[in-house]
Amino acid sequence: MLRPMTRDDADALAAFYRGLDEYTDRMFFVLSDFTPDITRDMAMLQERGAELHLVLVPQSTEVVGHLSLQPFPGVCPRLGICVKQGWQGRGLGRQVMELALAVVQAIPDSTGLWLSVLEENRGARELYESLGFQAVRERMVRRKFSRYRQNRGTFKLIDMILSFPLVR
Q: What is the pLDDT of residue 62?
A: 87
pLDDT tier at 168 (50, 70, 90 boundaries)? low
The confidence score (pLDDT) of residue 153 equals 92
Angle between helices 36-47 and 10-18 (to 10 degrees): 130
* Per-residue pLDDT band at 167 (split at 50, 70, 90): low
> Residue 130 carries which side chain, given as an amino acid letter?
S
The pLDDT of 65-92, averaged and rounded, is 87
> HSE (CB half, 13 Å, CA atoms) of 121?
22
Domains observed in the chain: 2-163 (3.40.630.30)
Burial group, residue 108, by CB count within 10 angstroms (0-12, 13-18, 19+)? exposed
Higher-pLDDT residue of 61 and 47 is 47
Mean local confidence (pLDDT), 10-32: 87
**pLDDT number for residue 120:** 93
Q: Reply yes or no on whether the pLDDT at 119 is more than 90.
A: yes
* Beta carbons within 10 angstroms of residue 89's beta carbon: 10
d(CA 4, CA 49): 12
Task: Answer for the pair 164, 111: CB distance below 8 angstroms, yes or no.
Answer: yes
d(CA 108, CA 84): 32
Number of CB atoms found within 10 A of residue 159's CB: 16
* Percent of the chain clearing pLDDT 70 (strictly above): 97
What mean pLDDT comes out for the span 110-137? Answer: 94
Average pLDDT of the chain, as a whole number: 89
Q: E strands along the chain, which residues?
A: 2-4, 52-56, 65-70, 78-83, 112-118, 134-143, 153-163
- The closest of 68, 168, 80 to 117, measured between CA atoms, is 80
Q: What is the pTM of this model?
A: 0.88
Helix (H) or strand (E) holding 71: none
